[in-house]
Chain A
Amino acid sequence: AQSVAQPEDQVNVAEGNPLTVKCTYSVSGNPYLFWYVQYPNRGLQFLLKYITGDNLVKGSYGFEAEFNKSQTSFHLKKPSALVSDSALYFCAVRDRNSGYALNFGKGTSLLVTP
Chain B
Amino acid sequence: SAVISQKPSRDICQRGTSLTIQCQVDSQVTMMFWYRQQPGQSLTLIATANQGSEATYESGFVIDKFPISRPNLTFSTLTVSNMSPEDSSIYLCSVEQSGANVLTFGAGSRLTVL
Residues of A whose CB lies within 8 Å of any CB of B are 32, 34, 36, 42-46, 49, 51, 90, 94-95, 98-107
Contacts and interface: CB of A to CB of B under 8 A. Distances in A.
Interface residues of B, number: 22
A59 to B, nearest CB: 11
A90 B92 CA distance: 15
A106 B31 contact: no
Interface of B: 4, 31, 33, 41-45, 48, 56, 58, 92, 94, 96, 101-108
A100 B106 contact: no
A44 B104 CA distance: 8
Contact of A42 (B45, B48, B107): B107
Given A101-B45, A104-B42, A104-B43, A34 B107 contact: no
Contacts of B44: 104
Nearest to A102: B103
B103 A46 contact: yes
- Which 7 interchain pairs have the tightest Cβ spacing? A43-B107, A100-B96, A44-B105, A43-B105, A104-B43, A106-B42, A104-B42
Contacts of B56: 98
26 contacts: A34-B103, A42-B107, A43-B92, A43-B107, A44-B43, A44-B94, A44-B105, A46-B102, A46-B104, A49-B101, A51-B101, A95-B45, A98-B48, A98-B56, A100-B31, A100-B33, A100-B96, A100-B101, A100-B103, A101-B33, A101-B45, A101-B48, A103-B45, A104-B43, A105-B42, A106-B41
A105 B96 CA distance: 19
A43 B108 contact: yes
A78 B14 CA distance: 44
B45 A98 contact: yes
Nearest to B4: A43
